């Protein structure tokens, strides 16, 4: 399996820790190192930063150009997880001009994690990410290129947002750090499921428009804020609500008491379009829910979780009775989820699990090298410039503390807030002079150098076998995963006629790692149909319904994955 193949390899996380230690040693030991070189680079950088439009454009284009340049070393990612396949199913459905698909006749054989089979056959997730994948395929001919373009827009939007909160040179620095940490290598860009880049784009538009609107009273800034809020509705509505609540409070206070607030009539006229945009998005989502799940008020996740999940999403909820699963692989997945939920029902378990969630979030967004500015977090907090962003993060912490599960893309709407706070701390760090030495200035410079070095190492990680095992909590994405399934599917597609791939997992299979049972929107029209091996009667019924296809037994957990003809007589004998 792809996960275990790199289990004992040195990881980029270890390399980053070593590089961070080196950064600290150099900065305190030789704080004046490279002074002339750095001064020249900073002057050039400041000139670019002052041209704000060009700075924003450079951040976005850097993602596209650099990611294209490293394709020989870090190729287009392959789908490998149930989440990837779930979103691609939705994207394929949209590409066919539909919002959902009818339930397949043999739906039990096609059941897979995070795909709703009844009342219709569709992803369980919110549709924002799938719309981007579908647009990428329709316009640019590739599911993944749509994801890449959104990551580029995210970095550009982060730079735009930071320009409203920080000096121009720091905003540009934040944009380029986002390129290196998120745009090139993270699983937000290099998978098909996270929606992290899209949600971060939405959050950056909301937070970037807020100070501009309040300072200038130009209501046109309400449009990007409404666009950002609409993106959050379609991607991460819960976390988006946590972000928009403090923003709404500030806007309300400004509208009532702001010194430069417009007149009531002007405010109503200027807010009409932004409000209409958000209302239209919510209405469309309601219609989508009606078509897919049968009710305007039945949100994505609901039916799938009620059907399969044991663990609820919030800490005060009770564990659900275990349902009768149709296959053991899905049972193992949801039992694995339940272990996390059971851990939080003691004071010690809740504390340790909360610290783990916080730690994984810090590792993804900052790694080790960008944790150094936290030395100045108190000074940053006392700075009124970013006080509201600290409030936003505190609201997020409260909201995520009551949620059981947390992955880095869950809090993606707050990416711009994280970057602004971190950069403000870096500004204070830069002027720090312990014992009269410019160690703080050296630290900020060496941190940027370290990020550049890590980017070079990231580009070389696959050829040098430095791919990390725990890709989802650090900045490097799931490179090299999903290859075996893609190879098997390509070999079956090369055969004449339709093919039926019946998957038999080994006893130790972890569905959290790799999922192979996935089908496109039009199952019966697909060249290869993937199905689970169930009990003999179900298997024979499946073979009967797909009698015109050649049946194969696919065993993903063999090393390497094994594909052999499916022996129907043995199944028939087993029934009798």
8 Å CB contact between 155 and 163: no
Counting other chains too, the contacts that 138-146 makes at CB distance below 8 Å and 24 or more residues apart are 138/95, 142/76, 143/88, 143/91, 143/192, 144/76, 144/77, 144/192
pLDDT at 425: 97
Query: What is the spatial distance between Cα 92 and Cα 251, in angstroms, rounded to a whole number?
Result: 39
Q: Which of 98, 88, 190, 99 is nearest to 134 (CA)?
A: 88
Burial of 494 (0-12, 13-18, 19+ CB in 10 A): exposed
Q: What is the pLDDT of residue 191?
A: 92
Q: What is the pLDDT of residues 119-146, one digit of tens each?
A: 999 999 999 999 999 999 999 999 999 9
pLDDT class for 197, splitting at 50, 70, 90?
very high
Distance separating alpha carbons of residues 161 and 98, to the nearest angstrom: 35
* Residue 550, SS3 per DSSP: strand
Beta pairing class for 562-565 and 550-555: antiparallel
Distance CA 389, CA 420 (A): 8
pLDDT of residue 6: 37
Question: Are 304 and 116 spatial neighbours (Cβ–Cβ below 8 Å)?
Answer: yes
DSSP annotation of 507: T
**Strand, coil or helix: what is 125?**
coil
More confident site: 8 or 178: 178
pLDDT of residue 96: 96
User: How is the chain split among helix, strand and coil, in percent rounded to 5?
Assistant: 65, 5, 30
Backbone angles phi, psi at 112, to 5 degrees: -150, 165
pLDDT in tens, 545-558: 999 999 999 999 98
Query: Which helix (H) or strand (E) element contains residue 36?
Result: helix 35-50
Pick from 151, 158, 136: which is nearest to 87 by CA? Answer: 136
| Contact by Cβ (8 Å): 204, 160 | yes
pLDDT exceeds 60 at position 570: no
pLDDT for 575? 44
DSSP H helical ranges for 294-411: 302-308, 328-343, 347-365, 377-382, 387-401
Q: What is the pTM of this model?
A: 0.93
How confident is the model at residue 549, as a pLDDT? 95
Strands 550-555 and 528-532: unpaired
b or e along 426-458 (b: 16 or more beta carbons within 10 Å of the residue's beta carbon)?
Answer: bbbbbebeeeebbbbbbbbbbbbebbebbbebb
Neighbours of 203 (CB within 10 A): 34
**In this model, does residue 559 exceed pLDDT 90?**
no
Give the tokens for residue 441.
């200035």
DSSP per-residue codes, 67-123: HHHTTTTS------SHHHHHHHHHHHHHHTT-S-BPPPTTHHHH--TTEE-SSSBEE
> Which three-class secondary structure state does DSSP give residue 303?
helix
> CA-based diameter of the chain, in Å?
87
- State the average pLDDT over residues 273-295: 97
d(CA 396, CA 36) in angstroms, rounded, equals: 42
d(CA 147, CA 141): 12
Alpha helices in 431-535 (DSSP H): 439-459, 483-493
The predicted model gives 74-103 an average pLDDT of 94
Angle between helices 237-257 and 387-401 (to 10 degrees): 140
Q: What is the DSSP letter of 146?
A: H
To the nearest 10°, the Cα dihedral for 317, 318, 322, 323?
-50
pLDDT at 3 over 60: no
pLDDT digits (tens, 9 = 90+) for 308-342: 999 998 888 889 999 999 988 889 889 888 888 88
Specify the residue for token string 């309040």.
214
Question: Is the model's pLDDT at 467 over the cut of 80?
Answer: no
Mean pLDDT for the chain?
Answer: 91
* Residue 569 confidence (pLDDT): 53
User: pLDDT tens digit string along 368-418?
Assistant: 999 999 999 999 999 999 999 999 999 999 999 999 889 999 999 999 999
CA 232 to centroid of chain Cα atoms: 13
Higher pLDDT, 162 or 265: 162
Instruction: State the Cα–Cα distance between residues 163 and 177, nearest whole angstrom.
Output: 14
Q: How far apart are CA 182 and CA 153, in angstroms?
A: 12
At residue 564, the 3 state secondary structure works out as strand
Cβ-contact 158, 267 below 8 angstroms: no
User: H or E stretch including 531?
Assistant: strand 528-532
Between 468 and 476, name the one with better pLDDT.
Answer: 476
Using the predicted structure, report yes or no on whether residue 29 has a pLDDT greater than 80: yes
Bridge partner residues of 499 (DSSP): 528, 550
- Give the integer Cα–Cα distance in Å for 211 and 208: 7
pLDDT of 571 over the 60 cut: no
Q: Is the pLDDT of residue 455 over 50?
A: yes
């Amino acid at each position: 399996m792809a996960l275990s193949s790199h289990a004992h390899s040195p990881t980029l996380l270890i390399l980053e820790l070593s590089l961070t230690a080196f950064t600290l040693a150099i900065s305190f030991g030789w704080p004046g190192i490279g002074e002339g070189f750095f001064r020249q680079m900073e002057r050039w950088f400041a000139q670019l930063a002052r041209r704000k439009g060009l700075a924003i454009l450079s951040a976005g284009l850097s993602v596209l150009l650099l990611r294209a340049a490293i394709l020989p070393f870090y190729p287009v990612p392959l789908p490998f997880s149930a989440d990837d396949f779930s979103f691609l199913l939705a994207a394929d459905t949209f590409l066919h001009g539909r919002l959902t698909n009818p339930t397949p006749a043999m739906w039990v054989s096609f059941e897979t994690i995070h795909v709703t089979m009844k009342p219709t056959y569709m992803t369980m997730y919110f549709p924002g990410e799938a719309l981007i994948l579908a647009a990428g395929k329709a316009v640019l001919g590739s599911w993944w290129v749509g994801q890449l373009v959104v990551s580029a827009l995210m970095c550009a939007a982060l730079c735009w947002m930071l320009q409203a909160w920080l000096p121009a040179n720091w905003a540009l620095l934040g944009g380029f750090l986002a390129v290196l940490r998120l745009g090139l290598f993270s699983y937000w860009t290099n998978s098909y499921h996270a929606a992290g880049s899209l949600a971060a784009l939405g959050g950056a538009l909301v937070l970037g428009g807020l100070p501009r609107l309040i300072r200038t009273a130009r209501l046109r800034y309400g449009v990007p804020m409404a666009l950002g809020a609409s993106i959050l509705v379609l991607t991460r509505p819960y976390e988006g609500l946590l972000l928009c609540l403090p923003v709404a409070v500030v806007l309300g206070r400004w509208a009532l008491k702001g010194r430069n607030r417009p007149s009531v009539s002007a405010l109503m006229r200027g807010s009409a379009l932004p409000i209409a945009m958000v209302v239209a998005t919510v209405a469309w989502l309601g219609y989508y829910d009606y078509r897919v799940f049968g009710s305007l008020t039945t949100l994505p996740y609901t039916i799938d979780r009620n059907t399969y999940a044991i663990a609820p999403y919030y800490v005060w909820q009770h564990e659900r009775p275990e349902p009768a699963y149709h296959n053991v692989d899905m049972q193992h997945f949801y039992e694995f989820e339940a272990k996390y939920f059971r851990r939080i029902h003691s004071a010690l378990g809740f504390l340790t699990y909360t610290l783990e969630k916080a730690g994984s979030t810090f590792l993804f967004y900052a790694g080790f090298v960008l944790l150094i500015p936290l030395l100045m977090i108190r000074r940053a907090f006392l700075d009124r410039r970013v006080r509201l962003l600290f409030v936003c993060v505190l609201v997020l912490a409260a909201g995520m503390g009551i949620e059981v599960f947390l992955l880095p893309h869950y809090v993606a709407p707050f990416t711009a807030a994280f970057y602004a706070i971190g950069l403000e701390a870096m500004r204070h760090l830069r002027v720090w002079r312990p014992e009269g030495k410019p160690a703080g200035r050296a630290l900020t410079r060496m941190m940027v150098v370290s990020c550049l070095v890590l980017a070079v190492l990231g580009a070389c990680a696959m050829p040098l076998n430095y791919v990390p095992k725990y890709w989802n909590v650090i900045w490097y994405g799931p490179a090299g995963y999903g290859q075996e399934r893609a190879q098997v599917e390509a070999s079956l597609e090369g055969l004449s006629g339709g093919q039926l791939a019946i998957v038999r997992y080994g006893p130790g299979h972890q569905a959290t790692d790799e999922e192979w049972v996935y089908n496109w929107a039009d199952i019966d029209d697909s060249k290869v149909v993937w199905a689970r091996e169930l009990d003999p009667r179900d298997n024979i019924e499946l073979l009967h319904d797909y009698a015109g296809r050649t049946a194969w037994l696919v065993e993903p957990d063999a090393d390497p994955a094994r594909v052999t003809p499916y022996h129907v007589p043995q199944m028939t004998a087993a029934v009798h």
